[in-house]
A and B are shown apart, each in its own frame.
Chain A
Amino acid sequence: MMLPKEYKSGVKPIWCPGCGHFAVLNAITKAFAALEQAPENAVLVSGIGCSSRLPAYINSYGFHGVHGRALPVAAGLKVARPDLNVIAMGGDGDGFSIGGNHFLHACRRNVDIVYVVMDNEVYGMTKGQASPTTPEHWEHSKLTPHGPEVRPFQPCAIALASGASFIARGYSGDPNGLAHMLFEAVQHQGFAFIQVLSQCPTFCPEQVGWKKTVHLEDTCTDDPVQAAAFLHGDDGLAKGIFYRRPRPTWPVQHQSTEPVNLRKGFEL
């Protein structure tokens, strides 16, 4: 049995002090300890961005890919190696903007992986531009001086509409609760999505206020209609597991066919 801290790799995070991603790192180590996860059987897959640096900080296998493509790498790995515990992760820009299409199809495909999005509503790595989840009138980026003037993306509602079978929102101020969600998500058969409100003290210092405004909602349901009603009335600051409805995962296991002669079809 390993202690949470033994799941840290020893590589020093580059994150700013106070970054919410430290809490996600902390939660993953706690969830792994609770799962008694063999480090060699877990793979953390990420894209590009501050949060995507996380795999290097965990004592497991990791894959730090290109921007927006953590989900396909993770899905390919899991389909090829179903014996592994595969967790994809990244930020809101990585997952919902450049990788948005993969998000929809990962929810729909329901490969048995966990996807953790550390959502700080900003592109931190490129110096504070608006992301898909940035509030409409957030005016702190030179790139969008009037604010994005676009309605924020609703990750959980879109995950539900796209067919995700496990949907939760955690908060970096509550790493223990997040660890519990991860623990449940890993054990869920199918695609499990966790949006983590993860504060960015550098570009969005106002997110420090989440400590007071994030609230626990014990509304978990297996009814998509009920979940949709909740998510559409949601202020975006509720935490909890909102939806859990197991359904068949991909790939579907077909009856194993006898080994065939691959060449037979070419013969006259």
Chain B
Amino acid sequence: MNTGVYEDSSSLYSDKWVFLAHSAALEQEAAERMYELAEAMAVHNNRELHELLTALATYSESHAADIKTLCKDETLPNFKAWEYSWPDDESPEIFHYAKVHYLMTAEDALQTALEVELSAEAFYTDIALSTENPEIKQLAGAFAKEEQEHAQAISDRLRAIKTVSYPGSLKDLDQTDFDPPHMPE
């Protein structure tokens, strides 16, 4: 058994419905992860992040809805989670769990959101360039453009937040935790 990337990724580039199943899953998972994270922030009383992440989730969610509309009545292929052909372990537009911290700031969240939008854009761009299926080429190109627009919007938002400049990674965060962990059980 191979627990890694789905081996046969060729159909992603040749079968429109396989491509759309990936697109739908990509957006759906991105939205779900973002909502999950938003909820976690709410549980941890980080209201600013809760609101920001909820807003970001709606980008992906609306994109997922668009794809659904595009498919009309067609039933997309039903892949098991590990059967998708993602370039990495998870779908490209997803917040990796390791990128998240309860003290993360709006800049951190926006920066990560920017990264994942760009990663989704790269995913679609690669397909648009590589596929020989004109329909897929057209769709992938359009999706890449949308992701690029999302990325631009997030970029603008990031710039609009006039606080300290983006510190880069968790290592650079101020590690002072004025609200140390509890001991519930």
Contacts and interface: CB of A to CB of B under 8 A. Distances in A.
Contact of B3 (A12, A34, A239): A239
A238 B183 CA distance: 31
A176 B32 contact: no
Interface residues of A, number: 54
Interface stretch (B81-89, B144-152, B160-168): B81-89
A179 B82 CA distance: 7
Interface string B91-115: 0000011111110100000000000
Nearest to A22: B97
A17 B84 contact: no
A48 B181 contact: no
Contacts of B100: 17-18, 201
Contact of B90 (A15, A19, A174, A180): A174
Contacts of B39: 12-13
A20 B33 CA distance: 13
Given A16-B44, A48-B185, A173 B3 contact: no
Q: Is the interface of B mostly helix, strand, loop or mixed?
A: loop
Nearest to A202: B181
**Central interface residue in A26, A48, A170, A211, by most chain B CB within 10 Å:** A26
A127 B89 CA distance: 31
Given A17-B40, A125-B185, A175-B81, A199 B3 contact: no
Nearest to A175: B90
A34 B97 contact: no
A89 interface: no
B1 interface: yes
A208 interface: yes
Interface string B62-86: 0000000000000000101110101
Contacts of B43: 12-14
Contact of B104 (A17, A31, A175, A211): A17
Contacts of B101: 16-18, 201, 205
B12 interface: no
Nearest to B94: A175
B64 to A, nearest CB: 12
B31 to A, nearest CB: 10
B181 A128 contact: yes
Nearest to A241: B1
Interface in B95-149: 96-102, 104
Given A17-B101, A18-B101, A208-B98, A180 B41 contact: no
Contacts of B82: 30, 176-177, 179-180, 183
Nearest to A30: B81
A15 B4 contact: no
A247 interface: no
Interface in A1-42: 1, 4-5, 12-20, 22-23, 26-27, 30-31, 33-34
B183 A199 contact: no
A34 B79 CA distance: 8
**Central interface residue in A30, A124, A176, by most chain B CB within 10 Å:** A176
Contacts of B90: 173-176
Given A17-B40, A177-B89, A241-B1, A5 B97 contact: no
In the A-B complex, list the 8 residue pairs whose CB atoms are closest, starting with the nearest: A18-B100, A30-B81, A177-B3, A180-B82, A174-B89, A34-B80, A17-B40, A179-B81
Given A172-B97, A177-B89, A184-B1, 15 more contacts: A12-B39, A16-B181, A17-B101, A18-B97, A20-B97, A33-B80, A34-B81, A125-B183, A173-B97, A173-B98, A174-B90, A175-B90, A177-B3, A205-B170, A218-B1
11 contacts: A12-B39, A16-B44, A124-B181, A125-B183, A170-B3, A173-B97, A183-B80, A202-B181, A205-B101, A205-B170, A210-B98
Interface of A: 1, 4-5, 12-20, 22-23, 26-27, 30-31, 33-34, 48-49, 124-128, 170, 172-177, 179-181, 183-184, 199, 201-203, 205, 207-208, 210-211, 216, 218, 220, 239-241
